[in-house]
Structures are given as C-alpha cells and as structure tokens.
Amino acid sequence: CAPKNQEQKDEATLKQDAKMEWWRDARFGMFVHWGLYAIPAGEWKGKEIPGISEWIMARAEIPVKDYEKLTEEFNPVKYNAEEWVKLAKFAGMKYIVITSKHHDGFAMFHSKASPYNIVDATPFDRDPLKELADACEKYGIRLGFYYSQAQDWHEPGGTYYNIEQGEPHWDPDLKREPLMNYINGKAVPQVKEILENYGGLDILWWDTPRGMTEEAAKALQAEVDKYPEMLTNNRLYRPWPGDFSTPEQHVPPTGLDYDWEVCMTMNTSWGYKKNDDNWKSSESLIRMLVDIASKGGNLLLNVGPTAEGLIPEPSVERLKEIGQWMQKNGESVYGTSASPFFKLPWGRCTTKEAESGNLLYLHVFDWPRDGVLRVPGLDARIKDVYLLTNKKQKFSYKFEGEDLLIHAPSVIFDPINTVVVVKTGKKMEITSNMP
C-alpha cells in the first residue's frame, strides 16, 4: 500500500513512528544467547543432545537439582563486555539484545527476586549485564534484554514446552504450582529489576508464550507500560500487540505490514554448542541482511558465547567480514526503506529520500554477464548513477522504453554485493512492481 503522507497520519501513528525511528533506521542488531547451557554446550553425560543447546535441560530431561549444579562451575572470567560491544559496533550493529533469563530460569543478572542468578549462585562475582549496559552506553549501542516470561523450567509455577499437551514436567520432584505464583513471585519482580536497574532498556524481548494466560500477560504488560519509550516484541501472549513481530530462523518472502525483525543464528544453535559447525558464510549473511532491508525489516543476528565468556571465533570472523562490507556500504542499509520493485533478477534494492529526489541503492549480487544492469519499469528523471564505495566512479546509462539500462563494467565488481546508486528527481514511479 502507498505510504501515507504526514497529514494523513493520525496522532497515534505519528507517535509510534517517533518511537520506532531509531530501531527502523538501525536495521541490524546482535542477539546474544548466554547462560548455564554454555557449559554442557550440547553434551550431557558424554552424549550429544540433538537440537538447540539452550534447550538441553528439557531435551535431556535433566532434573532441576542436577542442572543447578552447573552454577558451581560457571565462572566466565574471560568475559569482557567492551570487547563484545566493540565487535558488534565494528560489524555495523546498532543494538544488542541479550538473554537476561532463558527457559532454564537462570538469571544472568543480579536479582533480589530469586537467588538463582549469576551473582548469588556462581563463583563469578560480577553482574555481566550491568557491565554490558555500561559498555553499550559508552559506545553508543542500544540495549535490549530477552526475558523468557512463560517457560521457566526451574520454578514450580513456570511453564514448560509440553504443558499445553497436559504432560507433566520431566522432573517429578518439581512440585507444580499455579502459574500466577511464578508470575507474581518471580517474573514480574525480575522484569521490574531489569527495567529499573540497567539504565533504561531500549527493548524488552519476550519469547514464546507457551502456557501463558491473559492474566499473566496483563501483569507483565503493566510493567512495560511504565516505560512508554521502550520497545517490545509481540510474543508476550498470542495474540498480543507489541511494537514489532519476530520471524524466527526464516526471512519472510515479502515484507510484512507491521514492523518486523528476523532473528537468526549463524550456525544452528542459539546457545553455544561445541560441535555445531554448520556455519552460514559471511556472504550469505551480508546478502540476508540486505534481503531483509530490501523488504523493510531488521536482522537480529545471534552469537552464543562460551562458558568462559568468549564469542566463538567463527562468529567473530563473520562479524568482522560483515563489518568490512558495512563500513563501505552501510549507507545503503541504515535508514533505508523497502524496495519499490517486486523482484530484480540480479539482486535487491533499498531506497532513501534525499533533499532533491530519491536514492535507489541497487545491490548487485549477480553481476550481469553482458555488463548491462537492467532496472525495470522506472519512470523518473535520472540525475546521477555512481558506485557507492567510490562516488567518483560514474556509470553511463540510457533508457530502453521505461527500463533503465546501466552500463556496468565488471572491473568494479564486489563478489559479495556491489552497490550502485541511482539518484533520481522527486517524481519517481515504478511501473514494473507486479507479482
């Protein structure tokens, strides 16, 4: 649908636009899954446990008392928040979302509401999330906390993955209690703590609402409502309003009519898993980010730090390679809008309004063999066509009907993604955007 102009937008929409502005401009963030599960790292009692590593407690049906023993070993002395934040910043990420408490129920922050937290229950006498908040502040990176509101496998009232099928918790020693005992006794107090004690969060990221009730969602939403500038995703309950939706591990084929952020792993697991070598290439990650931007969404790309507190080397390598590309080409991602074209055979497009017209960023994944980049059905006055990484490098062009043909010599070809910028006049229409 056509974008409404400012006068047509109602007050609520304008307010929401202002609230979302930094996030929409950011386009790229870092997800961090870090918790006790980094110790077993996918292996329990010498056996490899299939699936995502942060689910090991459920997948291996580990009794609460046994899983709790991991706290004795958790001492991530190599953790350096500034290094993580500097890496995210180098990669071109504008925000970080970290697991403050995953389904295992273990808080990665100092909590008075539950002693099952990193400061009180482990030899590591530091609050890593406080350190991360300070580092984010120092380097100008926005910060969000993930909080598993529904599933909490450690608590008698917490939900768990098969609760909706009426199956019992795998640990028969965990005496069941009503959900609201856990919500009022732990979830609400901990959410208050994270909202109050970390300098003001930019995002609160809920996970799957399995086993939630409307009553529980309302109790948590009441805390969120005290922070009108903070963003939340829409996973608190189903259905539930929120500021954005979060497709998980897939990129929607077209844009959504609601703000959205794809969360994605670089290998297959969110939490650190030692034998998970199924890494996506830097090239495919860069192209994924661009593909998402061309559809108007954000990418929240995950890292799973080790039990020592280090981001695994394959992740570091990829983030650096993404950063190298973003430092030269970031202008074509940040603050851009979705492509006006339905489909382009050679790559993707992002757009931006400039003072005197429009900018079309043509992301060329597959450089045309005949050296002619065809932009189909473009009705506009062309002011300039140049290479993003070197604005002095101009391209010659001509129209063939309404197709713009750009003469694209292959000498300036970037094998990952070459960005060609087309500057047009104010009036621009796309006549080819039909499915």
Based on CB atoms, which residue is closest to ligand H79, 54 or 193?
54
Q: Can you give the length of the chain in residues?
A: 435
Based on CB atoms, which residue is closest to ligand H79, 34 or 161?
161
| Nearest approach, Cβ of residue 207 and ligand H79 (Å) | 5
**Stretch of 46-54, 236-244, 251-259, 274-282 lying at the interface with ligand H79 (CB under 6 A):** 46-54
Which of 99, 82, 264, 68 minimizes the C-alpha distance to 174?
68
- Does residue 95 bind ligand H79 (CB under 6 A)? no
- Does residue 244 bind ligand H79 (CB under 6 A)? no
Interface of this chain with ligand H79, residues 251 to 310, rule: CB under 6 A: 263, 270
Instruction: Name which position in 208, 245, 268, 393 contacts ligand H79 (CB under 6 A).
Output: 208
Q: Max Cα separation, the chain?
A: 75
Full 3-state SS string of 240-261: CCCCEECCECCCCCCCCCCCEE
Per-residue x/- mask for ligand H79, residues 3 to 42, rule CB under 6 A?
A: ------------------------------x---------
Which residues are 95's β-sheet partners?
Answer: 29, 142
- Does residue 237 bind ligand H79 (CB under 6 A)? no
| Nearest approach, Cβ of residue 270 and ligand H79 (Å) | 4
Strand 231-232 relative to strand 372-375, pairing: unpaired
Based on CB atoms, which residue is closest to ligand H79, 51 or 377?
51
- Does residue 52 bind ligand H79 (CB under 6 A)? yes
Question: Could you tell me which residues come within 8 angstroms of residue 378 by beta carbon, excluding any fewer than 6 positions away?
Answer: 360, 402, 403, 404, 424, 428, 429, 430, 431, 432
Distances (CA, A) of 10 to 7, 243, 259, 296: 8, 17, 17, 21
Contacts 24+ apart (CB under 8 A), 287-292: 287/365, 287/416, 287/417, 288/251, 288/262, 288/264, 289/27, 289/28, 289/322, 289/333, 290/332, 290/333, 290/347, 290/348, 290/350, 290/363, 290/417, 291/251, 291/348, 292/27, 292/251, 292/262
> What ranges in 296-337 are assigned the alpha helix state H?
313-329
Based on CB atoms, which residue is closest to ligand H79, 208 or 245?
208
- Does residue 207 bind ligand H79 (CB under 6 A)? yes
CB atoms within 10 A of CB 78: 12
Based on CB atoms, which residue is closest to ligand H79, 260 or 270?
270
| Nearest approach, Cβ of residue 3 and ligand H79 (Å) | 31
**Stretch of 54-62, 322-330, 355-363, 415-423 lying at the interface with ligand H79 (CB under 6 A):** 54-62
Based on CB atoms, which residue is closest to ligand H79, 162 or 389?
162
Determine the Cα–Cα distance for residues 133 and 313; give it in Å rounded to an integer.
Answer: 23
Instruction: Name which position in 28, 55, 67, 341 contacts ligand H79 (CB under 6 A).
Output: 55
Instruction: Name which position in 16, 43, 51, 279 contacts ligand H79 (CB under 6 A).
Output: 51
| Nearest approach, Cβ of residue 284 and ligand H79 (Å) | 20
**Stretch of 47-55, 60-68, 342-350, 401-409 lying at the interface with ligand H79 (CB under 6 A):** 47-55
Q: Compute how many residues bind ligand H79; rule: CB under 6 A.
A: 12
| Nearest approach, Cβ of residue 206 and ligand H79 (Å) | 10
Specify burial of residue 265 (Cβ count, 10 A radius: 0-12, 13-18, 19+): buried
Based on CB atoms, which residue is closest to ligand H79, 264 or 285?
264
The answer to whether 373 and 408 are in contact (CB under 8 A) is yes
Interface of this chain with ligand H79, residues 127 to 186, rule: CB under 6 A: 161
Residue ranges binding ligand H79 (CB under 6 A): 33, 51-52, 54-55, 59, 161, 207-208, 248, 263, 270
